[in-house]
Structure 1
Amino acid sequence: MIKNFLSLIILSFSIATFSQETVLSFNNDLKTSSSDIKDVIPVVNTETNEIAFFVADAKNVYGYKVDANFKVIAKITSEEKSRKYKVLIGSSASKNDSYRVFLTDKNQNNFAFVNFSFKDGATSLKEFSIGEDEEFIQTVNSKNQFYLISGSKLENHLYLYSFDEYGTPIKNDIDISALRFIDYKGKNTNILSFLITGNDLKKFEENTPNSIELTSEETKMFVRENSIFFTLDHHKMFTQVLEIDLDTYKADSFQFNKPALGEKAKRTNSYLNGKNIFTIAVTKDQFSVEILDFETGNLIKEYSASKDEEITFKNTAIIQEGGMYDAYRELGKTNRFLKRISKGNSGISARKVNNQYHVIIGGYIVQKSSGGMMMPFGGIPLGTIGSATVFFNPTQIAFNSFSNNKTTRIESLFDENFNHVEGEIKENAFDKMIDFKSNNKGSTVFKYKDFELVI
């Protein structure tokens, strides 16, 4: 939270216990100008658990380093602000007490990073570029390292840029020539046509709450341990997966069967969580959810319901939320649920909390108004200035979509063997943040260990 442009207060919302506490409060005493603060950029050092906060106004960037006990231990001021680079795409932390913030321009053609050295008390900006025939796809932050993903549709080449200790980009060619992918008709196709679409590809963090608006995307990216997974749900009967190993830069592909119902469905989808993949198929008459082992593809559990049946594995009412006329409604019958989710974009999300799986099943229809298509996520553009970009801060994007839900959905609880369990769906960390953040427009949500933090 930015309070009177001077103070930073950091609240911790525990994912496991749903508790809330203030863990840090300090004055932005480096700031002397009268210009308003535009954004706060958090960068977490995953090895030391230190956090660097970069507070930006129209003229300068002010850096504060906080240790694992939430004590301010270093400060720095930077005048290295280029108006050319306005979109945050990632960050990295090094062992020599420096942090880098990576940026691109609004057209995603030019790139740069600002290096903040708390050790030397100095900052610097360095520009870099990708190939002329390449298009920017996404970024990865893993083990304090930053990676940039690009590709060429024309050549069917995928590239992963890593960066050495001086920030020099190293171009790694990911060999995908032997990997086969199919389009929605089952014909061989170029995977770059799925990864480069003109729409920013969304990435997801493990066990962070995600709305159906996000998870209903046909192409998604996950980072687990030291691998990148792209999931493709364009085909009704298969989820296709591209895996890239960040240690070897080797690529592999495999696929998972979707429910047999998918052959009749307008849309099917999937979602990765831990060692499992959750798949869904929906028609106007019934829906089916299957949970598969991610290593073997074997079916673990299946749940389904038809329009004339009660959904016995739900822990909530059938909820319609965020429509054009009613903000919240409960629908009594399964046929009304199926009618709504089969017309739009269907999706499923899963996260593990306190040894139980919280699964959301549903769909949404993009609302229209006289002024054209409504913007998702409460009017927040996804590739904009600040930390809320689909490249830099997926937790913030998840919160924005979650707090502006426009879905028809049910929510369910399952034990570790995926047996349905009775019980009330508890508030998640985002639920507790909504009221706080709505009163503090400059705040930023980010992930820190097993907590969601808001500043």
Structure 2
Amino acid sequence: MKKKTVFYLLLFTIFKPFCQEKVLELPKVFANKCQSDKESYSIPNQENGDLMLLLEENKKFYSYLLNSKYLQKSTITTKTLPSKYRSILGYSVNNNTYAIFFANSRNTKFGIQTFNFDTKSSTNVFLDFKIKGEKYVESVNYKNKIHLITISKNSSELNIYTFDNKYQPQKKVISLKQVEYQNPSDQYHTINAHYLLTSDSDGFTISVEKIESRNPNVIETTSKLTKLYLLENQLIFSFDYDKKETKLCIIDLDTFLFTYKVFDKPSKTEKGFTGSNSYIYDNKIFQIASSSQKMKFTISDIISNNTIKEYAIKKEDSITFKNSPIIQEGGTSFFSFSNNDRVREMEKTGKYLRKISNSNLGISTYKVNDQYNIILGGTKEIYSGGGNFAPGFGSGFGAIGTVGNLNAISINFNPTFYGYNGYRSNKSTYINCLFDHDFEHLQGDIPKNIYDKVNEFEDTLKKPSAINIFLHNHKIHYGFFDKTDKMYKLYRFED
């Protein structure tokens, strides 16, 4: 019996099933299987677990409402909004009516396309809503409502517009004045929140990186100095322009109460660091500081502000807490997930420190098998085109995406899709580290995360189209059109 038991265990280990499960097949969803201009989108109902799938072809939407078990409840076919409404700001859900909010390219005109699955009808609503003297920042979806965020120009006043079921906005104004500081090159002027939320170069482009921390995030994403998180009911802006402190502006989306917190970086009490950054995960703040001579990173509790653990190295040290070689990735193959031809390994700590200190420094954390995988490194942008990510949306986290096969970045409406693709447009140097729940270093290989599993699955497909990768009911989903059997297929992945 013991031999048989061992045999069956080995058999299960060798032939254990894939981590993905096919949850839906939709036959004959597109009119032309060979035509390339097809897209798929998704809108999860955050209250009851329903899911709206939206397939687009030839300026038509084919929409499907599914229940939490992926069974079809209703369908609607309709035309898309006029072409001037290109940007998707977010959505709202009221019972079985789903409303998608759009704007023109300048965010001066706004429209809504509604899908009423009870009456199987769709309507267009053009809003008499304008943001005067304000700059659009982001949108988030919380409890099936859209929250549109702007910053008043040349000030630190943050505005949050929440739309009700009649699509009327309620405005809340929150002061971010505590993040202001004196301009080091001009003693008569102050650096305000408007400046911090827009790019240094033109004061027009929004420079906030929206973080979906439920997914793995690479250094290319987390190296930005201003980040936005939606963690349960809390909207958190983190500012890392100050080399000595991370400043957090926390807004409760239920009450709109504001909390301001400051966390000292390793460079606050120790000289010699030239760069720093932070990352928020699991109610903890992870901070890093480095130079060509040394590096230190710390983990602190956000609620108590107490430091939990810190690690430090100098250029002459070996890195005892790393679980991978020092890895340098290139960015030569934008449309391929094969990284073998653009990955280098290095051995010397000094070279690693020089590389990351001459780059945009970043730290990222993700939990796999109840262990913390922490990535420490730096990145340099080598691709600035910005318009080659496939569209798609549906994480429930809001903001600008585009329709009409414009091949524009959909960072904001679907950070899950963007996160899966984002590493291919940059160049980074990093180490992978593994820690237990007390942040004691663990030996062993880094376990595969959910994106690794999606990548392996995608490699088995033959030229999938209308791809959409999104979060729904706390699980990653992968949808695509299979040209071979003319079906749209949806898979759900387990961690």
TM above 0.5, one fold? Answer: yes
Match of 1:447 in 2: 471
Match of 2:402 in 1: 385
Equivalent runs, 1:15-414 vs 2, <5 Å: 19-29=19-29, 37-95=37-95, 97-128=96-127, 129-176=129-176, 179-182=178-181, 185=184, 189-197=191-199, 198-260=205-267, 263-322=271-330, 327-367=342-382, 374-375=384-385, 385-386=402-403, 389-404=410-425, 406-414=427-435
Unaligned runs of 5+ in 2: 1-16, 200-204, 334-340, 393-399, 480-495
User: Structure 1 71/37 Cα, relative in aligned 2: closer, same or farther at 3 Å?
Assistant: farther
User: Structure 1 375/340 Cα, relative in aligned 2: closer, same or farther at 3 Å?
Assistant: farther
Cα displacement (A) at 1:31: 5.3
- Of structures 1 and 2, the larger Rg is shown by 2
One-letter amino acid matched to 2:476: E
Per-residue deviation, residues 194-215 of structure 1 (Å, max 9, x unmatched): 1233135221123311111110
Tell me the distance in 1 between the aligned counterparts of 2:33 and 2:422: 34
Tell me the distance in 2 between the aligned counterparts of 1:253 and 1:132: 27
For the 8 Å contact 1:211–1:405, the answer to whether it is kept is: no
Cα displacement (A) at 1:138: 0.3
Unaligned runs of 5+ in 1: 1-16, 368-372
Query: Once the two structures are aligned, what percentage of the paired residues are identical?
Result: 31
Cα displacement (A) at 1:436: 4.8
Cα displacement (A) at 1:322: 1.7
Tell me the distance in 1 between the aligned counterparts of 2:325 and 2:34: 50
For the 8 Å contact 1:237–1:263, the answer to whether it is kept is: no
Tell me the distance in 1 between the aligned counterparts of 2:198 and 2:86: 21
User: Structure 1 228/294 Cα, relative in aligned 2: closer, same or farther at 3 Å?
Assistant: same
User: Structure 1 108/435 Cα, relative in aligned 2: closer, same or farther at 3 Å?
Assistant: farther
Cα displacement (A) at 1:63: 0.6
Per-residue deviation, residues 359-397 of structure 1 (Å, max 9, x unmatched): 111011222xxxxx5446976699662495122111111
One-letter amino acid matched to 2:237: F
For the 8 Å contact 2:315–2:353, the answer to whether it is kept is: yes
User: Structure 1 228/45 Cα, relative in aligned 2: closer, same or farther at 3 Å?
Assistant: same
For the 8 Å contact 1:287–1:306, the answer to whether it is kept is: yes
For the 8 Å contact 1:346–1:363, the answer to whether it is kept is: yes
Query: TM-score scaled by structure 1?
Result: 0.88
Three-state SS of the structure 2 residue aligned to 1:132 is: coil
Tell me the distance in 2 between the aligned counterparts of 1:33 and 1:327: 34
Of 424, 428, 436 in structure 1, the residue corresponding to residue 445 of structure 2 is 424
How much is the aligned-residue C-alpha RMSD, in angstroms?
2.7
One-letter amino acid matched to 1:94: N
Tell me the distance in 2 between the aligned counterparts of 1:401 and 1:412: 21
For the 8 Å contact 1:40–1:444, the answer to whether it is kept is: yes
Tell me the distance in 2 between the aligned counterparts of 1:381 and 1:185: 40
For the 8 Å contact 2:401–2:412, the answer to whether it is kept is: no
User: Structure 1 28/264 Cα, relative in aligned 2: closer, same or farther at 3 Å?
Assistant: farther
Query: TM-score scaled by structure 2?
Result: 0.81
Task: Name whichever of 213-222 and 395-404 sits farther off.
Answer: 395-404
Match of 2:5 in 1: none
User: Structure 1 214/184 Cα, relative in aligned 2: closer, same or farther at 3 Å?
Assistant: farther
Per-residue deviation, residues 37-87 of structure 1 (Å, max 9, x unmatched): 432110011221111011112221111011111112211112242101112
How many residues are aligned here?
Answer: 432
Cα displacement (A) at 1:275: 1.3
For the 8 Å contact 1:315–1:425, the answer to whether it is kept is: yes
Cα displacement (A) at 1:21: 2.2
Three-state SS of the structure 2 residue aligned to 1:114 is: strand
For the 8 Å contact 2:361–2:378, the answer to whether it is kept is: yes
